[in-house]
Amino acid sequence: MRESVTLKLDEKTLAAAKEKAAADSRSLTNYLEHVVTQEIKAIKAPQLTVLAPENVRDSEPVRFQNDTDEEFKRRNAILDAFLDTTGH
């Protein structure tokens, strides 16, 4: 069940929200609901901190003993994606 709420925002925040909603082709209500929903999901999502040297990508990946070429490439692709999302 959806429930209506009243929300008070300062002029600059409201103007920015309207602008962003329009840029995303959303109504203001839909945009605000989306932002709140995403924030709640982010809070519930597990947080992971990666401690790695800045030059971690300069390292050579180690191949496991019985790795196939496909497994090795897949593992390296996963590591690259992981490093991309953590800002490394």
Q: What is the mean pLDDT of each run of 10 residues along the chain (88 residues)?
A: 92 96 96 94 77 84 90 91 80
Predicted pLDDT at 82: 83
The answer as to whether 3 is a domain residue is no
Q: Is residue 2 part of a domain?
A: no
CA–CA dist 51, 71 (Å, integer) = 25
Residue at 50 is within a domain: no
Residue 75, domain member (yes or no): yes
Shared-domain flag, residues 40 and 60: no
In a domain, 51, yes or no: no
Q: What share of the chain is helix, strand, coil (3-state, %, to 5)?
A: 55, 0, 45
In a domain, 73, yes or no: yes
Supply φ then ψ for residue 9, to 5 degrees. Answer: -130, 150
Is residue 20 a part of any domain in this protein? yes
Structural domains counted in the chain: 2
Question: What local confidence, expressed as pLDDT, does residue 43 receive?
Answer: 82
Domain encompassing residue 18: 11-44
